[in-house]
A and B are shown apart, each in its own frame.
Chain A
Amino acid sequence: MALTPFTSPISLTQLRSNFDDKTATLLTNARAGAKDQVVSLYLASLTSGASEFSRSVAWTQQDDAELRLLMARVTDTGARAIGLALTVENGDTLFLVDHSIALSFNTVNGTTDQRTDYRTTTGTRVRLLKGVRYRLAFTNTSGGTVGGPLIANVQLRSIRRRA
């Protein structure tokens, strides 16, 4: 809304309207800075018993971010038990507020898509914290090789920061 200039006499309602308009714009701008991004993991295939380092990725958060979604999408030819977990690197679950952030499912002959939504109004909100190292890892506990590809995504929401 355009600024409404004053004429004599000053209108108090107009003054309030001008202030309210600018604070509303500031709030809209601040909200617009909250955006989603993903941390992805792509595996061409996954053998049973593969070392953790070959089926995972770890990173240290440089900013706090809200966990929005955990997603796994796996293509295979048979029914194998697949797990996907987001954990704290040193096992200190306090940094996930003692919540298990994980998916487990059986593959089918084709593509399986599994997602857990952490945005639900009544659900627990989880925040990944700056300075904490997190790891996203697939597991294959059924034996054999998952043909792949295996795609995992963690969707995070962050806001603008002062530093």
Chain B
Amino acid sequence: MSVPYVPHAFKDGDNLDLEKINDNLEAISRSIQRNLDARYTYSHIRFDLDGLTESSAEVLRELAIRRRGANNAVEVFAVELVIVGDGSGDVWTLACSDTTWPSITLTTVSGEEVTASSNIPVGVTSNSADLELTLSCSSTSTITRGYLIVHLRCDRGNQGSSHAGYFPTLVTSATANLAGTLDTELTNLGSAVARDTANDTDLRAELYMVRSLSAGSSRVFRVPSGARRIQAVVGYVVQAAGGSVDFEVASASGAFSTVTLSVNGAGATSRAVDSAGAAGDVIDADDPTDSADDETITITAATQTAVLAYLIVYWS
């Protein structure tokens, strides 16, 4: 991070040197552009694959992801597929619902960890339809241990409002109405700074999941508090119709309002999805070394066994 500055500090009694004004206008223009250009944040989510076989239902072999909001751009920046198989020579393929993304393959080695990766990006273009990454294998194979890491890159400069910079009109000895010209320049640079302030919603995602969670039981994840802002949660459930899964993200210290989401099961081989927004409370005063300030993510299968349940939490 570079520190914005202007090179000349004016004070009453000095001569108003127009070149110094121009220096300042150009410097602050560069500072604004540096801030606006710093628009991307990186994070990753992990989708566990333990126990899956080639014959597992497709929704269990599939990671779905959507934007938290229509104007919160997210792209899959890279993926890493890690699999320990029960046999050797089984070829697992990871494909994407956006078929422009080239699929990747991984050949198992019995009892050994094998990794495949891709650095081809693909956009998560909607907050109402999912991008799906689906794993498949044409031979008989069981994943003893495995996970899919999806690296995400979020763009704060694509939030539906202008993210334009400021390009100064320099003053000279021929400039008429200098005060009015400076007012205009300061107004314009102020507007660009305001755009930098307004487009402040970065996104960093985390994923918490459980497979085969029996009815009435919960899994509680616990993470240290830190400087961040909770934005939204998106919950996915594979569960028999009539069941439901409750998700809760809470702060033990009360640093942010508890976010709850209940998703009704749509069938043992169907994926249900819902989302909930958060108040956007800022957390930065909590102490991550103090367990009393921890954040908890709780997944509860309310009535039926949840075959698969996962929650994507979007933080800013």
Q: Which residues of A contact B (CB under 8 A)?
A: 3, 5-13, 15-16, 18-20, 22-23, 25-27, 29-40, 42, 51-54, 57-60, 62-63, 68-69, 71, 73, 113, 115, 117, 151, 153, 155, 157-163
Contacts and interface: CB of A to CB of B under 8 A. Distances in A.
B270 to A, nearest CB: 26
Contact of B35 (A5, A26, A113): A26
B178 A10 contact: yes
B228 A35 contact: yes
Given A26-B35, A35-B226, A160-B156, 14 more contacts: A3-B187, A7-B179, A12-B11, A27-B3, A30-B4, A35-B316, A37-B43, A38-B226, A68-B288, A73-B291, A115-B288, A153-B222, A155-B226, A159-B1
Interface in B1-55: 1-6, 9-14, 16, 21, 24, 28, 31-32, 35, 37-44, 46
A10 B14 CA distance: 12
A153 B225 CA distance: 11
A26 B243 CA distance: 49
Interface string B151-187: 1010010000000000000000000001110110011
B274 to A, nearest CB: 23
Contacts of B291: 73, 113, 115
A151 B1 contact: no
Interface of B: 1-6, 9-14, 16, 21, 24, 28, 31-32, 35, 37-44, 46, 77-78, 80, 82, 84, 111, 113, 115, 117, 144-145, 147, 149, 151, 153, 156, 178-180, 182-183, 186-187, 189-190, 193, 196-197, 200, 202, 204, 206, 208, 219, 221-224, 226-229, 288-289, 291, 315-316
Contacts of B156: 160
A23 B5 contact: yes
A74 B85 CA distance: 28
A20 B180 CA distance: 19
Nearest to A130: B42
Binding site secondary structure of chain B: mixed
Nearest to A38: B223
B222 A73 contact: yes
Contacts of A60: 78, 80, 117, 149, 151
Contacts of A162: 37-40
B147 A35 contact: no
Contacts of A23: 4-6, 28, 31
B221 A151 contact: yes
6 contacts: A29-B193, A33-B41, A36-B226, A53-B113, A59-B44, A157-B227
Contacts of A151: 221-222
Given A19-B28, A160-B156, A62 B40 contact: no
A133 B289 CA distance: 26
Nearest to A69: B288
Contact of A3 (B41, B151, B186): B186
Contacts of A73: 222, 291
A158 B178 CA distance: 43
A159 B182 CA distance: 33
A123 to B, nearest CB: 13
Contacts of B113: 52-53
Contacts of B80: 59-60
A7 B177 CA distance: 11
Nearest to A37: B204
Contact of B4 (A10, A26, A155, A158): A26
B40 A161 contact: yes
Contacts of A63: 41-42
A79 to B, nearest CB: 20
A163 B3 contact: no
B82 A158 contact: no
Nearest to B24: A19
A16 to B, nearest CB: 4
A36 B228 contact: yes
